[in-house]
Amino acid sequence: MNNISDVAAGLSYGTSLGSGGYWLLQLMDTVSPGQWSAIGVLASVFFGLLTYLTNLYFKIKDYRRKRH
């Protein structure tokens, strides 16, 4: 983890894992398997997009820093 984008990506993945664990513990008894599938798909899309946007932000920031 030598640059900020690596740190941001690590934090994003860690947050995804922590959030998923929390949801799992809270909803274990009340959600059907079909609902779990939908939750998994939506969470994957959301956190994947969040990770992409975070990485894109830092890539643009790094590009602008190197350009000047």
CB atoms within 10 A of CB 48: 12
Helix (H) or strand (E) holding 5: helix 4-27
Q: What is the pLDDT of residue 61?
A: 95
pLDDT, tens digit (0-9, with 9 covering 90-100), for 10-22 = 888 999 888 888 8
Task: Please say if the pLDDT value at position 28 is more than 90.
Answer: no
What are the structural domain ranges in the chain? 4-67
CB atoms within 10 A of CB 8: 16
Q: What is the pLDDT of residue 2?
A: 67
| CB 10 within 8 Å of CB 1 | yes
Confidence of residue 26 (pLDDT cuts 50, 70, 90): confident
| CB 4 within 8 Å of CB 57 | no
